[in-house]
Amino acid sequence: MNPEDLFHPYQLSPTERERLDRDGHLALPGLLTAEACERLIEALSGLPTAPPDAAQRAQHYSAEHDAFLASLIGHPQLVGLARQVLGPEVRFDHCVSINRPAGDGGISWHSHAYAEDQPELGFVRIFFYVNGFTAADGGLGVVPGSHLFRDPKLSARSDEALRTGWLAGKRHPRTGEPLAIEYLSAPPGTVILMWTHAAHAVSPRQPGSRTRWTVVYAYRNPGAESRARWISPEFEHHPPPGAEGLMSLF
């Protein structure tokens, strides 16, 4: 194996692509190499502490603080995975660390906006769960099929609020099944793809747990404005090697 590899050899199968489009997310357990996990933990543990204010956290550009994280933006395996989902025309949107130490409160239900009136355009978030998680300890909550509604206003403060609010009476547009909440578990080295409109939440990190090391790289098709494109002008004007063609706005 090449020491520069990020992933073990992998090709998205038609069945997996169909599952991603049906459910809104796709987990790829153990895709990250052991060497990549070690370097990711080193990089993520050295980042500046995120500001407590939510508005300021949105400006916490992880790749801009670490050369290794920046180098992955244009990594052939990562860009190749994004293109297997989005097609050949992709743009880098952002790189954000979402590390969760012991006692972290998680995050409530939400989705994200992008080209609601242009279903031909896609926006995928690629999460690196370096040391994994369990459903009840920093677990990722999902609602299969929620992405097909392309609703950026989807939100709820609790599972019950989501069930009695946004979810009430809704059925999967393709399967006809009632929409339902699921909490995922993931072994170390897992990569999860998620369409940006998918409902998701994170369960609290239990006291005494190790930090859950996580970074997300987001890519999209060009053609619409992204409100999540957290890139400073300095970084955009001087992109890391291999990422030059991915950085233009549209």
Q: Is residue 7 situated within a structural domain?
A: no
Handedness of CA 244, 85, 10, 132 (dihedral sign): positive
pLDDT for position 60: 62
Q: Is residue 34 situated within a structural domain?
A: yes
Place of tokens 């001087």: 238
Angle at which helix 76-86 crosses helix 14-23, to 10 degrees, equals 70
CB-based contacts of 103, cutoff 8 Å, min separation 6: 204, 205, 206, 207
pLDDT for position 105: 95
Question: Please, are residues 125 and 196 in contact by the beta-carbon 8 Å criterion?
Answer: yes
Distances, alpha carbon 55 to alpha carbons 108, 130, 151, in Å: 17, 26, 22
Q: Is residue 222 situated within a structural domain?
A: yes
Task: Kindly state the DSSP code that residue 7 receives in the 8-state scheme.
Answer: B
pLDDT for position 48: 77
pLDDT for position 52: 47
Q: Is residue 85 situated within a structural domain?
A: yes
Per-residue pLDDT of 228-249, as tens digits, reads 988 888 898 899 999 999 988 7
Q: Which amino acid is at 13?
A: S
Provide the whole-model pTM. Answer: 0.95
The shares of helix, strand and coil residues in the chain, as percent rounded to the nearest 5, are 25, 20, 50
Q: Is residue 56 situated within a structural domain?
A: yes
Place of tokens 């989902």: 85
Identify the segments of the chain with pLDDT beneath 70.
1, 49-60
Structural domain that includes position 131:
14-245
Angle (nearest 5°) at CA 126 between 124 and 128: 170
Per-residue pLDDT of 199-238, as tens digits, reads 999 999 999 999 999 999 999 999 999 989 888 888 988 9
- Alpha-carbon distance of 111 to 109, in angstroms, equals 7
CATH number at residue 35: 2.60.120.620
69's enclosing H/E stretch is helix 67-71
Q: Is residue 215 situated within a structural domain?
A: yes
pLDDT for position 57: 43
pLDDT for position 20: 98
Task: Kindly state the DSSP code that residue 14 receives in the 8-state scheme.
Answer: H
pLDDT for position 50: 57
- Alpha-carbon distance of 23 to 143, in angstroms, equals 8
Number of structural domains found in the chain: 1
